[in-house]
Chain A
Amino acid sequence: MNEWVLAGRSYVSRLLVGTGKYRDFEQTKLAVEASGAEIVTVAIRRTNIGQDASEPSLLDALPLSRYTYLPNTAGCYTAEEAIRTLRLARELLDGHDLVKLEVLGDTRTLYPNITETLKAAEVLVREGFKVMVYTSDDPIVARQFEAMGCVAVMPLASLIGSGMGILNPWNLQIIIDEMSIPVIVDAGVGTASDAAIAMELGCAGVLMNTAIAQAQDPVRMANAMNLAVRAGREAYLAGRMPKKMYTASPSSPVTGIIGS
């Protein structure tokens, strides 16, 4: 089995999925199941005060006993907000310390604010959190997060929720080549081929939400992503043939052709 290790624990699936933007919890559950994901991201938000406690919750759809929850700091624009959010998450999840750190720069692009992310990562690592960090595709910054003690770097393929695919495979390749911690391509994947390309670059995994949740048929797209991530990984391990620029090479024998 082609397992990978994250923060000391092995996983089989290399597809990590978000749980936002689904029609309801039933669709969330079916899509996550179809994706084969073992790690799911969740957001931490103020509870709806006075809401009937018997109303279904995400925890019923995706039991903590089956999935590794990855609480995120989506919507945080400062290091302080992100740190507070993850301290709450750790308490909420009984001391669970694997977290996704993202500190955003502005509401239009949701591009990461690296300065604030670095500040937050430093504090969180010191406090014992296992930090998976959403970042730009800057190899130098990725190196800094690794040196700080983050457990995974998660560079963007393109803007969050944009579905624009992998805009700079070259930078991702540099990051993957240099890191000894897992590199997870996070954000921007639009369809199955994007996920396959990310995996062919050699990254440890892909994290996505919108590409599945906003597909016309989310459950089917979750299955497509499951297959694409596995196909991409297999292709990476198989090692692709070298590209021959402007030179064809016949696949069939060149001898024994009739009439020759």
Chain B
Amino acid sequence: MTLTINGKVGQFSAPLSLTALLGMLNSQNKRVAVERNGEIVPRSQYEVTQLADGDQLEVVVAVGGG
């Protein structure tokens, strides 16, 4: 399936949970927030969220800023 993550398109094999994806992206231990198709995914739902073909994901962190 095709997923767009932070604007970059990639191919992934289904089934894939959000927790598994964050693991693949090396982001499982970082404090992140995720938006899937414009909706926030609560952290408690990462495990049960199964990603689907065409999903658009934004994965964000806090960085230095004014």
The answer to whether A and B belong to the same complex is yes
Say yes or no: B29 contacts A53, CB within 8 Å: yes
CB contact under 8 A between A44 and B60, given known A20-B65, A72-B65, A74-B65: yes
Say yes or no: A49 contacts B64, CB within 8 Å: no
Report the count of interface residues on B (CB-CB < 8 A).
Answer: 29
A-B contact count (CB 8 A): 110
Say yes or no: B62 contacts A93, CB within 8 Å: yes
| Chain B residues within 8 Å of A18, by CB | 64-66
Say yes or no: B33 contacts A22, CB within 8 Å: no
Say yes or no: A42 contacts B43, CB within 8 Å: no
CB contact under 8 A between A47 and B65, given known A88-B35, A91-B40: no
Say yes or no: A50 contacts B64, CB within 8 Å: no
Whether a CB of chain A sits under 8 angstroms from the CB of B7 is yes
Say yes or no: A91 contacts B62, CB within 8 Å: no
Say yes or no: B26 contacts A51, CB within 8 Å: yes
Taking CB as reference atom, which chain B residue is nearest A46?
Answer: B6
How far apart sit A26 and B43, CA to CA, in the bound complex (Å)? 29
Whether a CB of chain B sits under 8 angstroms from the CB of A220 is no
| Chain A residues within 8 Å of B40, by CB | 87-88, 91
How far apart sit A18 and B62, CA to CA, in the bound complex (Å)? 12
| Chain B residues within 8 Å of A209, by CB | 65-66
**A interface majority secondary structure:** mixed
Question: Residue-by-residue, is B19-30 near A (CB-CB < 8 Å gives 1, otherwise 0)?
Answer: 000000111111
How far apart sit A49 and B61, CA to CA, in the bound complex (Å)? 11
| Chain A residues within 8 Å of B43, by CB | 91
Say yes or no: B66 contacts A92, CB within 8 Å: no
CB contact under 8 A between A49 and B62, given known A91-B40, A91-B43, A92-B33: no
Min CB gap A151→B, angstroms: 19
Min CB gap A23→B, angstroms: 11
How far apart sit A21 and B7, CA to CA, in the bound complex (Å)? 25
Residues of B that sit less than 8 Å from A by CB: 5-8, 25-35, 38, 40-43, 58-66
Give 14 new A-B contacts, CB below 8 A, not counting A20-B66, A71-B62.
A18-B65, A41-B66, A42-B62, A46-B60, A47-B60, A49-B26, A52-B26, A57-B31, A59-B31, A84-B35, A88-B35, A91-B33, A92-B32, A161-B66
18 contacts between A and B (CB under 8 A): A20-B66, A22-B64, A28-B64, A41-B65, A43-B63, A45-B63, A46-B59, A47-B59, A47-B60, A49-B5, A49-B6, A49-B26, A53-B29, A58-B62, A72-B66, A84-B35, A88-B60, A91-B40
